[in-house]
Amino acid sequence: MGETTFNFKEIQGREERLVPGHRMCAGCGGTIAVRNVLKALHPGDKAVIGNATGCLEVSSYTYPYSSYEDSYIHSAFENAGATLSGVETAYKALKKKGKVGAEYKFITFGGDGGTYDIGLQSLSGAMERGHDMVYVCYDNGAYMNTGIQRSSATPSFADTTTTPAGKYSVGKTQTRKDLATIMAAHNIPYVAQTTYIGNMKDLYVKAEKAIYTPGGAFLNIMAPCPRGWRYEAPDLVDICKSAVETCYWPLFEVIDGKWILNYEPRKKLPIEDFLKRQGRFKHLFKPENEHYIAEFQQEVDRRWEELKLRCEM
Amino acid sequence: MAIRTRMSGNEALAEAIRQINPDVMPAFPITPSTEIPQFVSTMVANGEVDTEFIPVESEHSSMSAAIGASAAGARTLTATSSAGLAYMWEVVYVAASSRLPIVMAVVNRGLTGPLNINAEHSDSMGARDSGWIQIYAENNQEAYDNMLQAYRIAEHEQVHLPVMICQDGFITSHAVENISLLEDEPVKKFVGEYEPQHYLLKEEEAMAVGPYAVSNYCMEAKKAQAEAMIRSKQVILDVAKDYEQLSGRSYGFYEGYRLEDADYAVVAIGSVCGTTKDAIDRLREKGVKAGLLKVRVFRPFPGEEFAEALRGCKAVAIMDRAESYSGQGGPLGAELMAAMYRAKVQAEAVNIMYGLSGRDVRVEDIEKVYADLQDMAENGKTFAQYPYLGLRE
């Protein structure tokens, strides 16, 4: 595909495909992902939207109301990849028979629970088979729909309801699974990681590439959750910016196996800047826990250096 | 013109699938159903069908992809056995409650514990309350005939439910027997083109599938699904009637074999019915009025019809090839006895467990069952518990 152009006004003027009236929380990162990814669909193109069980599903398709202008399918928690792969295959079959003429795109959304954990096999299978579809993970780093239980995407030391910080615990003891790298190892044509920065150009450009690159594509979007991360709704933008400026959540793409770093902060901020904005890390700022922050920083640094090596920087 | 040939049950199903030419088939290999996706893949490779085959990474994804494909508007098929069906469990329910006319070829094999690959009905019997129509075959011919009728039932506007076409692992799926096949054109005409009313890829309207429904709506959805299952009874009979016109072979909810005047009846499902018919012929020669009620349709459960067919029998043996570990017997026993009670059919009844994990059943074993029935009726013999047939002492 050609170079993506970004005309903010034109894109924001496009008709909404996720319409108002859904029941997601104020300050939720999940809906921002859906709304903006769907904005990257070219006007006139049709789509079938898939969804894993989670906050998004129960809040955006609560019978009898659908918040989607496009066709939509949810079947279960762990099978968003497989379900949409069936839809995409049906499209091929019906197109071959001349029963469908229009251009359709296939995009499915899952939280980190449905993607990193219970849905990993289904996602891996769908990507390996090369279906022409996009899997979007809106990663809020815990099972938020069931009440903030840890997932393999939860960062170290986060206070969740299954890794509570307490007298003998400082939250989650393991580090985050690096799913974008796992997906890149599937050798699919497009993998990218993004979050909500500035005028959403980074997200838009990546969503458009993901949708219009033939074959499987995976988009990992850091999508803060006000309930789980414990922040005030307006702080979402600053948290996302901080995640990028501290290199906790780097912006990168893997195009046909080539790693590309999209943004390198002029001055990398210390991880405290990201942690201090969220109640789930509050316990780390007790004087006796400060060494855990240093540990967290070490892991962020290690991963950042590793990423730069991959990007040949 | 009928085509007379010989083939295994799996081959017969594959031949039916070739003639139906479904749009999409996701499948994952598992013994003894593996041959079915293999045969279909070969047909795809040779251009004999237009089917898009999806080599999924698991049975859970197999049923999930089938749900996606069917919701998208494609005539969809899958096949599985045993642990594969168990692994699908969650989404087997989703397929039925989403009212998707998927057809699944089930080659019956026991569920693990210990691991075993042979014939048993615990896989599909475990899914008996999932909302799928279940049709069972005695042999390759019936597996073929049932398959050709499946989509007409599943896609019927009064039904919209998925259908399992079941046959016994190895005994039916792998044994080669004579069979009479139909020609392609009349089959295609009989099955017809799939023209769904609502589907994801309908260009004129968007559609949403799989909502979250609160208690205010959910119960009505379940009732509607149950009503569709009840309505499917007439559709199953109507389709069978049409099929008889085409093939000359007649089907219903059950087959009665020398049942009308029988004093002693065996009720069974699947390949054991052939063995039972042999035993009946031997016993009839000796003057014993033995008969068989062979269950073809288990879901919906035609309890009234079964009970009525057994009215007048002195004693009935209900044969289960699946444990339910209820301490009371198996699923067919439980449901049929309840139906007989409601219909006030007063025959003595015993529920017998047989053929688990492929345990062989001989004609002599079935003769012994009839001898026990006679003993029950004439001498008041009782069974302390539901007996196991052919168990090693």
Q: What is the pLDDT of residues A17-70, one digit of tens each?
A: 999 999 999 999 999 999 999 999 999 999 999 999 999 999 999 999 999 999
Residue B389 within any structural domain of the chain: no
DSSP state of A234: G
Q: B102 and B231, same structural domain?
A: yes
Nearest CB to B54; choose among A71, A86, A121: A86
DSSP state of A235: G
Residues A285-303 have a mean pLDDT of: 97
Q: B110 and B200, same structural domain?
A: yes
CATH superfamily for A16-312 is Thiamin diphosphate (ThDP)-binding fold, Pyr/PP domains (3.40.50.970)
Q: B186 and B287, same structural domain?
A: no
Name the residue with tokens 């006679």: B374
Looking at the complex, report in whole angstroms how far the Cα of residue B188 sits from the nearest Cα belonging to chain A: 16
Give the A window 114-133 contacts with B, CB below 8 Å. 121-122, 124-126, 128-129
CATH number, domain containing residue B276 = 3.40.50.920
Q: Domain residues for B363?
A: 254-379
Question: B72–A84: do the CB atoms touch at under 8 Å?
Answer: no
- Which chain B residues have a beta carbon less than 8 Å from that of A97? 23, 50
Q: What is the pLDDT of residues B272-292, one digit of tens each?
A: 999 999 999 999 999 999 999
Position B243 scores a pLDDT of 98
Question: B64–A79: do the CB atoms touch at under 8 Å?
Answer: yes
Domain end (from B247, B275, B290): B247
Question: A86–B72: do the CB atoms touch at under 8 Å?
Answer: yes
Closest residue in chain B to residue A102, using alpha carbons only: B203
Q: B144 and B26, same structural domain?
A: yes
Q: B95 and B144, same structural domain?
A: yes
Please say whether the beta carbons of B117 and B145 come within 8 A. no
Residue A1 has pLDDT above 70, yes or no: no
B204 lies within 8 A of chain A by CB: no
pTM of the predicted structure, to 2 decimals? 0.98
- For residue B46, how many C-alpha atoms fall within 13 Å in the half-sphere facing its CB? 8
Helix then strand count (H, E) for chain A reads: 11, 12
Q: What is the pLDDT of residues A189-239, one digit of tens each?
A: 999 999 999 999 999 999 999 999 999 999 999 999 999 999 999 999 999
A23 lies within 8 A of chain B by CB: no
- Which chain A residues have a beta carbon less than 8 Å from that of B27? none
Q: B267 and B220, same structural domain?
A: no
Residue A106 has pLDDT above 60, yes or no: yes
Range A241-248 contact pairs with CB under 8 angstroms and sequence separation of 24 or more: A241/A197, A242/A269, A242/A273, A242/A274, A242/A277, A243/A195, A243/A274, A244/A195, A244/A197, A245/A269, A245/A273, A246/A270, A246/A271, A246/A273, A246/A274, A246/A300, A247/A300, A247/A301, A247/A303, A247/A304, A248/A155, A248/A274, A248/A300
Q: What is the pLDDT of residues A160-186, one digit of tens each?
A: 999 999 999 999 999 999 999 999 999
Please say whether the beta carbons of A26 and A226 come within 8 A. yes
A135 lies within 8 A of chain B by CB: no
Residue A2 has pLDDT above 60, yes or no: no
Confidence class of residue A3 from pLDDT cuts 50, 70 and 90?
low
Q: B314 and B200, same structural domain?
A: no
Per domain, the residue ranges of chain A are: 16-312
Q: What is the pLDDT of residues B2-39, one digit of tens each?
A: 999 999 999 999 999 999 999 999 999 999 999 999 99
Residue B75 within any structural domain of the chain: yes
Residues B299-308 have a mean pLDDT of: 98
- Which chain A residues have a beta carbon less than 8 Å from that of B54? 85-86, 89, 129
Looking at the complex, report in whole angstroms how far the Cα of residue A90 sits from the nearest Cα belonging to chain B: 5
Nearest CB to A61; choose among B23, B74, B208: B208
Number of domains in chain B: 2
Report the run of H or E that residue B316 belongs to, with start and end: strand B315-320
Question: B68–A75: do the CB atoms touch at under 8 Å?
Answer: yes
B201 lies within 8 A of chain A by CB: yes
Looking at the complex, report in whole angstroms how far the Cα of residue B154 sits from the nearest Cα belonging to chain A: 18
Q: B126 and B239, same structural domain?
A: yes
Q: What is the pLDDT of residues A113-140, one digit of tens each?
A: 999 999 999 999 999 999 999 999 999 9
Residue B258 has pLDDT above 90, yes or no: yes
Confidence class of residue A312 from pLDDT cuts 50, 70 and 90?
very high
Question: A86–B98: do the CB atoms touch at under 8 Å?
Answer: no
Confidence class of residue B180 from pLDDT cuts 50, 70 and 90?
very high
Residues B297-326 have a mean pLDDT of: 98
CATH number, domain containing residue B201 = 3.40.50.970
Domain end (from B226, B247, B268): B247
Confidence class of residue B221 from pLDDT cuts 50, 70 and 90?
very high
Question: B71–A87: do the CB atoms touch at under 8 Å?
Answer: yes
Q: B272 and B202, same structural domain?
A: no
B86 lies within 8 A of chain A by CB: no
Question: A85–B211: do the CB atoms touch at under 8 Å?
Answer: no
Residue B157 has pLDDT above 80, yes or no: yes
Residues B117-128 have a mean pLDDT of: 98
